[in-house]
Amino acid sequence: MKLPYNSRKHKYLLFTPGPVNVAENVRSAIGKEGICHRESDFDDLLLSVENKVLKLFEIKNVNNYRAVFITGSGTAANEAILSSVVGNKNILVLSNGEFGERLHAISQIHNANTYFLEFPWGKSLKLEVIDSFVKRHQIDVIAMVHHETSSGMLNPLGGIGALSKANGSVFFVDCVSSAGAETIDMEKDNIAFCSSSSSKAIGSYAGLSFVIGKTLEFEKLKNLPVKTSYLNLYKFYKFSKNLSQTPNTPAIPLLFSLEQALANILLEGVANRHAKIRRKAKLLRQGMLKLGLNFLLDQKEMSSVLTNVFIPININFKNFRRKLREKMIIIYEGRGCFKDRIFQVGNIGELSNADIRFFLSAQKEALSNYEHLSTERSFIELYQPVQAISIIDQIPLLPILQK
């Protein structure tokens, strides 16, 4: 089968929020000759990757922060945090989509005192509602998702960070799909811990995750109850601090490739990488608008990572997706209450402007099989099949307390 044009030598063009197409030097790095993880070679590798991660996040006072690395997806990093930082205190999880709900589900397993403030998918987190809730309850930890991939919404961090600081609570942010693409100011926004992963906007292979945290907050974990063995965050910190090691056998090839992906970003410049991703998003979105497609969110609410697009009501999405796949183009379908209503198009990883134009051309061809495009859908229609109560009713005034 003859492969269609693309500007890289990939079998597939991954227009997804992750996994992504990786650079050739990242692909080469994963095949480096093996080293032993209990030797100085590995110590040097781990320290190098940690230093590069702190530079990626543009942390100024690097002596006040550490990064630890976990063999596992971003969810592993999230579970390490949620099982290690709460102890017997109270945690409030904020959610406006699938991955906020996932944080809540993980916290319920490990923390008896889990509060849940749920907002509708695709709607912004209401700071005044959160502020009122925190003032009426003893909240020790606040957890939220930065980029809610299920809707493509970028949740602002500044207001909630300031709220957590005023409240004296530990602020944890899931940055799994925003790191490498969006500005994350841990120092300014009072973020005690954040999680991310090796793939997605950072541009390496999936399978590694990491936690960046304030050194003082890591030290506090020593006195908290241990709720898990493999994902004990304090153990990862202790091994990294004392030995420049990991407590368990790490995925060394993934660390090699992550180091190269981080080096690529730092060579380009963090601000330049962010700007390039925004330009690709703009090119992609302008092209889809010209095709008559409409988006789930207003563009000012979107991340620069992906776009959630309404499926035209007269289109069979499975056939549409199949036609793109025939041209080696991969997109995501919507999930949860957005299933069969939207599709997701990412613009991260090694996708060139030529790749984006090829995608837009293939999309135009797939859509041309349908005589009329009708993409207008209101939020009322979008939520109708899955919600029996109003959007306002979905913002709880009382917590869901799991015990």
Is residue 1 scored above 60 in pLDDT? no
CA distance 80 to 310: 35
| φ and ψ of 368, to 5 deg | -65, -15
H-only helix segments in 60-206:
74-84, 98-110, 127-136, 158-167
**At a CB cut-off of 8 Å and minimum separation 6, what does 368 contact?**
none
Buried b (16+ CB within 10 A) or exposed e, 139-173: bbbbbbbbbbbbbbbbbebeebbbbbeebebbbbb
φ/ψ (deg, to 5) at 125: -70, 130
Cβ atoms of residues 253 and 32 within 8 Å: yes
DSSP letter (8 states) at residue 331 = -
Q: Classify burial at 32, counting beta carbons within 10 Å of its beta carbon; exposed 0-12, middle 13-18, buried 19 or more.
A: middle
In this model, does residue 383 exceed pLDDT 60?
no
Confidence tier at 397 by pLDDT (50, 70, 90): very low
Q: What is the pLDDT of residue 368?
A: 87
Under CATH, which number does the domain 24-267 receive? 3.40.640.10
Interstrand relation of 147-148 and 153-154 (parallel, antiparallel or unpaired): antiparallel
HSE-up (13 A, CA, CB side) for residue 155: 32
Model confidence at 178: pLDDT above 90: yes
- Give the domain ranges of the chain: 13-17+269-372, 24-267
Q: What is the DSSP letter of 206?
A: S
CATH H-level, domain 13-17+269-372: superfamily = Aspartate Aminotransferase, domain 1 (3.90.1150.10)
Q: Among 132, 121, 122, which Cα is nearest to 92's?
A: 132
Picking from 302, 303, 306, 308, the residue whose alpha carbon sits closest to that of residue 334 is 308
pTM (whole model) above 0.85: yes
Question: What is the C-alpha separation between 294 and 296, in angstroms, rounded?
Answer: 7
Q: Do domains 13-17+269-372 and 24-267 have the same CATH topology?
A: no
Tell me the C-alpha to C-alpha distance, in Å, between residue 280 and each of 194, 213, 235, 354.
Answer: 26, 31, 40, 10
Q: What is the mean pLDDT of the chain?
A: 91
Distance (Å, whole) CA 154 – CA 162:
17
Comparing CA positions, the residue from 296, 301, 300, 281 lying closest to residue 346 is 281
Least confident span in 56-70, 131-145, 370-384 = 370-384
Residue 12 has pLDDT above 90, yes or no: yes
- How much of the chain exceeds pLDDT 70, in percent? 89
Over residues 348-375, mean pLDDT: 86
141 SS3 class: strand
> Residue 123: CB partners within 8 Å, gap ≥ 6?
96, 391
